[in-house]
Amino acid sequence: MEEKKRIRLIVAVAVVLPALICLYYFLPQIVDLFTYDLLGLSSGSHLGTSVNFFFYDTVKILILLFLISSLMGVVNAYFPIDRLRNYLTTKKMYGLQYFFASLFGAITPFCSCSSIPLFIGFVKGGIPLGVTFAFLITSPLVNEVAVAMFLGVFGVKATLIYAASGIFMGTVGGFILGKFKLERYLSDWVKQIQAQSEIETEKWEGEKTPFIDRLPSIIRDGWDIVRKVLVYVLIGIAIGAAMHGYVPEDFFAGYLSADRWYAMPLAVLAGVPMYANAAGIVPVIQVFVAKGVPLGTAIAFMMAVVGLSLPEATLLKKVMTWKLIGIFFGTISLFIILLGYLFNFIL
Amino acid sequence: MEIKILGTGCPKCKTLEKITREVVAQNGFQAEIIKVEDLMEIMTYNILSTPALVVNGKVEIKGRVPSAEEIKQVLAKY
């Protein structure tokens, strides 16, 4: 890229980034001004509060989505997944490899179409199955969309709990699955690859394109994510707003409350086959929480929906037997249920 | 030259193919563009994330969609 274009890019980032942060910071006042003064809705009316809530939530979440997606893109430019594989195969980790694989699952943007090449690439590089599972558990569970949605809807504390417990679950889950000696349940062709696997000796090669020249496509990717989930965010918030008005207070408290022990497994088992974009499900879950479902049960349900799904199972079928998929899903569901009880206990 | 676009059919892979075709057409590169969707074949290139751009058997870009300008620079080397 020419020097002129680079300078223009830096100036643009230096202007837009602080502007977005300011907008985020003063958003409540701006939205109040818009709904009550400009649209002339009365601040006490039901319609006024709903419109205000809708605009505030949507804009807030979109800003967060854009910033977090771009940030993850930057992190990834410095730490691509190839580099992790290189670390995992060449360095002695003393058990920490499960944690690192899980952590990286969290910071790499998740794309379901990439999960199979990644799985095979790990197996091919001689990385143990348990470590690969650690990555595979956290990758869909903690991703930029889920984090941005959680941050926008539930705040910092719940987001930290969600992300930390997701990484913890990947670490422990990968470790335990690794102990089961599950290699024999891989598909035949993956077994062959594994037999031929070799420890990578080649040094990890960095990108040749300088970071600044990759920045435009990183920002564009961040914007693409926002555009792609926009419709889910809008639908989720609209359903949430509608439920706020029509579902009676404490509606769910009756049968999903914390003192009914069977509520947790029910919520998780209902969530596993479901697949919903984190963007659409979080605003709905917020209403569940507002109407009496304990936050722990809600987080567990969300983990089951986002982390495990039938489409994912059919994808994994390319590399695993149904038995292995069953063991994988069963173990993770159990973990989510236990985590859910723990959340309800400590929150 | 022979250009291969590796990808199992995700939206990003289609974007990469589209941009590459445009770059080749606009700059008059002599190139044959092949889309590789077979997973087994993709895996022989030892990549971890799709899409990827392979020129004459060498992986040039992997795991992301580059800008048209970047593709042009890559192709100009051949």
Per-residue pLDDT tens over the stretch A81-121: 888 888 887 777 787 899 999 998 888 876 666 778 888 88
Half-sphere exposure of A100 (CA within 13 A, CB side): 17
pLDDT at A164: 93
For residue B46, the distance in angstroms to the closest alpha carbon of chain A comes to 7
Indicate the number of domains in chain B: 1
Picking from A39-53, A133-147, A284-298, A304-318, which range would have the lowest pLDDT averaged per residue? A39-53
Query: Which residues are paired to B3 by β-bridges?
Result: B33, B55
pLDDT at A261 over 70: yes
CB contact under 8 A, A82 and B62: yes
Q: Is B77 on the interface with A (CB under 8 A)?
A: no
- Segments forming the whole domain that contains residue B19: 2-76
Cα atoms found within 13 Å of the Cα of residue A189, Cβ hemisphere only: 9
Q: What is the pLDDT of residue B73?
A: 87
Three-state DSSP class for B10?
Answer: coil
Average the pLDDT over each of A76-80, A133-137, A248-252, A326-330 and give the range with the smallest value: A248-252
The pLDDT tens digits for A22-69 are 999 999 899 888 888 888 877 777 778 778 888 888 899 999 999 999
Other C-beta atoms closer than 10 Å to the C-beta of A74 total 15
Q: Is A231 helix (H, G, I), strand (E, B) or coil?
A: helix
Contacts of A211 in chain B (CB under 8 A): none
Checking if the pLDDT of A230 tops 70, the result is: yes
Closest CA to A332 of A243, A269, A240: A269
The partner residue sitting opposite B48, judged by closest CB among A118, A189, A193, is A118
**Looking at beta carbons, which residues of chain A come within 8 Å of B64?**
214, 217, 221
Give residue for tokens 């643009």: A12
Distance from A91 to chain B by nearest Cα, in Å?
Answer: 19
Between CA A60 and CA A52 the distance in angstroms is: 12
> Which run of H or E residues covers position B4?
strand B2-6
Q: Any idea where the domains of chain A sit in the sequence?
A: 3-197, 232-346
Q: Phi and psi (nearest 5°) for B61?
A: -140, 135
Question: What are the tens digits of pLDDT across the range A170-215?
Answer: 999 999 999 988 888 988 888 887 777 765 555 556 666 777 888 8
Whether residue B51 lies within 8 A of chain A, CB to CB, comes out as no
Is A318 close to B62, i.e. CB distance below 8 A? Answer: no
Between CA A205 and CA A209 the distance in angstroms is 12
Copy the structure tokens of residue A136: 């595979």
**Whole-number Å distance between alpha carbons of B8 and A241:** 38
Residue A177's CB: how many other CB atoms inside 10 A?
A: 24
Residues B17-28, mean pLDDT to the nearest whole number: 92
**How many CB atoms sit inside 10 A of residue A13's CB?**
13
Tell if the CB–CB gap between A318 and B10 is shorter than 8 Å: no
- Helices (H) and strands (E) counted in chain A, each on its own, are 17, 0
Give Dmax over CA atoms of chain B in angstroms: 32
Pairwise CA distance, residues A155 & A148, whole Å = 10
Residue A63 CA from chain centroid, whole number: 17
Let me know: does A306 contact A281? Beta carbons within 8 Å.
yes
CATH number for the domain that contains residue B61: 3.40.30.10
**A-chain residues near B41 (CB < 8 A):** none
